[in-house]
């Protein structure tokens, strides 16, 4: 019997898109949020779904939503600030977990700190299961497969065209500059600041960031020595962003500075403040490039993916993943990457169904 799907953060921007995507895929999720009035209105609007009230400031209210075998989808961010209560509740309840984060520090805590407890509980944790960072995992795995055993490094670049950003995206991005990121280099995970490096893909600049690829791709290609993820959303501002990142990294070493930056960012850039409407999203496109190279840096295989705007893709990807997890299709427990969670063939079909496919 399939477990229930519980969507926490249903009345936020990404949560609302995910709720509609789940219903469109035939699911009847429990919709949870902190405002009873708003969550009941959304539940009625989507055909009489079950509403529930839960709040990150009351972790027990999240735990009360869940039963063993359920699937919890969390869209409540910024995740570094608000994400842990849902994560802990899922593990404690014996429920599978997916989220929509793109924040490297939160991704790192899922893999580093919660993998073992999730394995012990027999549940899967799928963090960053949206545009950040599912299509890059797919593109990277395909490029490594095509390149064969000679591939020892992979670079994955994310780009968008014509897209506006939501309040949650801006809040997450603001927090990233004050937090350490990481890369997979020399066969191990190493800490480094966000935007420490800049490189180009097809003439488009991108800055280095932490993703799930650095954790997950070495699992599917044991010979991998280096894996880097690059964000190309900033165009010509990539080099200035690198300088800002360096200055911020130095400043946050001083006592109290990191907390002050986070406090200012929290006041100026808040999550759950809405995002582009359907017409604006329709004008957005996603582009992902993965390059697998040999020990000399010679490219052996390149995979390009393209498709829908990041927001609709994320909603549809969360819906696909939640339904697959509820149906018992996860291939393991613990903190999982997209490929080891579902297998390369199934993931490729899921990503295509969510709106991103091969691009010449």
> d(Cα 5, Cα 25) in Å, to the nearest integer?
12
Q: How far is CA 263 from the centre of its chain?
A: 24
Residues 320, 301, single domain; the answer is no
Residues 165, 292, single domain; the answer is yes
User: b/e map of 227-254 (b: 16 or more CB within 10 Å)?
Assistant: bbbbbbbbeeebeebbeebeebbeebee
Residues 79, 174, single domain; the answer is no
Question: CA torsion 253→257→262→268, rounded to 10°?
Answer: -130
Average pLDDT score over the chain: 90
> d(Cα 23, Cα 237) in Å, to the nearest integer?
39
Residues 266, 164, single domain; the answer is yes
pLDDT for 177 equals: 59
Is residue 162 very low, low, confident or very high in pLDDT (cuts 50, 70, 90)? confident
Write out pLDDT tens, residues 116-128: 999 999 999 999 9
- Among 308, 323, 348, identify where a domain stops: 308
> d(Cα 4, Cα 276) in Å, to the nearest integer?
30
Sheet order of strands, 51-53 included: 51-53, 30-33, 5-8, 71-74, 96-99, 124-126, 334-335
The mean-pLDDT minimum among 52-56, 127-131, 356-360 falls in: 356-360
> d(Cα 183, Cα 164) in Å, to the nearest integer?
28
> Any idea which residue has 């759950």 for tokens?
272
Residues 82, 98, single domain; the answer is yes
- Terminal CA-to-CA distance of the chain, rounded, Å? 41
The CATH number of residue 235's host domain is 3.30.360.10
Bridge pairing between strands 299-307 and 285-293: antiparallel
Write out pLDDT tens, residues 179-196: 678 999 999 999 998 889
> d(Cα 327, Cα 185) in Å, to the nearest integer?
36
- The per-residue DSSP string of 16-37 comes to HHHHHHHHHTT--PEEEES-HH
> d(Cα 107, Cα 319) in Å, to the nearest integer?
20
Residues 84, 230, single domain; the answer is no
Residues 156, 258, single domain; the answer is yes
Please name the residues in contact with 111: beta carbons below 8 A apart, sequence gap of 6 or more: 127, 212, 215, 335
Residue 277 domain boundaries:
134-308
> Which long-range contacts (C-beta less than 8 Å, at least 24 apart) are formed by 120-123?
121/91, 121/92, 121/94, 121/333, 122/94, 122/333, 123/90, 123/91, 123/94, 123/95, 123/96, 123/97, 123/333
Neighbours of 256 (CB within 10 A): 8
Is residue 164 very low, low, confident or very high in pLDDT (cuts 50, 70, 90)? low
Residues 290, 211, single domain; the answer is yes
Bridge pairing between strands 71-74 and 5-8: parallel
Write out pLDDT tens, residues 49-99: 999 999 999 999 999 999 999 999 999 999 999 999 999 999 999 999 999
Q: Domain count of the chain?
A: 2
116, HSE (Cβ side, Cα atoms, 13 Å): 2
Strands (E), the chain: 5-8, 30-33, 51-53, 71-74, 96-99, 124-126, 153-161, 180-185, 188-193, 198-201, 204-209, 226-231, 285-293, 299-307, 334-335, 356-358
Write out pLDDT tens, residues 185-231: 999 999 998 889 999 999 999 999 999 999 999 999 999 999 999 99
Residues 35, 114, single domain; the answer is yes
> d(Cα 15, Cα 12) in Å, to the nearest integer?
5
- Among 274, 290, 308, identify where a domain stops: 308
Residues 281, 162, single domain; the answer is yes
Beta bridge partners of 96: 71
> d(Cα 172, Cα 159) in Å, to the nearest integer?
17
pLDDT for 257 equals: 40
- The answer to whether 159 and 287 have CB atoms below 8 angstroms apart is yes
The CATH number of residue 9's host domain is 3.40.50.720
- The answer to whether 312 and 281 have CB atoms below 8 angstroms apart is yes
> d(Cα 222, Cα 205) in Å, to the nearest integer?
29
Residues 123, 242, single domain; the answer is no
Residues 170, 290, single domain; the answer is yes
> d(Cα 217, Cα 87) in Å, to the nearest integer?
23
């Amino acid at each position: 019997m399939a477990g229930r799907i519980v969507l926490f953060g249903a009345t936020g921007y990404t949560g609302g898109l995910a709720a509609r995507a789940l219903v469109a895929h035939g699911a009847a999720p429990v919709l949870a949020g902190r405002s009873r009035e708003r969550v009941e209105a959304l539940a009625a609007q989507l055909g009489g779904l079950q509403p529930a009230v839960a709040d990150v400031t009351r972790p027990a209210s999240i735990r009360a939503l869940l039963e063993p075998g359920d699937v919890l989808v969390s869209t409540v961010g910024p995740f570094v600030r608000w994400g842990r209560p849902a994560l802990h509740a899922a593990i404690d309840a014996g429920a599978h977990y997916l989220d929509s984060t793109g924040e490297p520090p939160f991704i790192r805590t899922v893999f580093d700190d919660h993998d073992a407890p999730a394995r012990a509980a027999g549940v899967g944790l799928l963090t960053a299961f949206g545009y950040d960072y599912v299509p890059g995992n797919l593109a990277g795995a395909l490029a490594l497969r095509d390149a064969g055993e000679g591939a020892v490094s992979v670079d994955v670049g994310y780009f968008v065209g014509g897209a506006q950003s939501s309040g949650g995206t801006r809040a997450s991005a603001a927090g990233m500059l004050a937090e350490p990121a990481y890369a997979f280099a020399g066969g191990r995970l190493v800490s480094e600041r966000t935007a420490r490096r800049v490189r180009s893909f097809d003439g488009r600049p991108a800055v280095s960031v932490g993703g799930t690829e650095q954790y997950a791709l070495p699992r599917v290609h044991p010979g991998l020595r280096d894996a880097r993820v690059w964000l190309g959303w900033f165009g010509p501002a990539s080099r200035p962003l690198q300088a800002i990142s360096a200055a911020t990294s130095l400043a946050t070493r001083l006592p109290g500075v990191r907390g002050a930056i986070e406090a200012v960012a929290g006041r100026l850039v808040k999550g759950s403040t809405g995002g582009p409407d359907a017409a604006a999203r329709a004008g957005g496109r996603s582009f992902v490039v993965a390059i697998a190279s040999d020990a000399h840096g010679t490219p052996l295989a390149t995979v390009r993916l393209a498709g829908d705007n990041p927001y609709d893709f994320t909603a549809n990807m969360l819906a696909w993943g939640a339904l697959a997890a509820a149906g018992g299709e996860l291939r393991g427990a613990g903190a999982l990457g997209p490929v080891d969670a579902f297998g390369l063939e199934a993931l490729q079909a899921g990503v295509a169904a969510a709106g991103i496919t091969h691009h010449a």
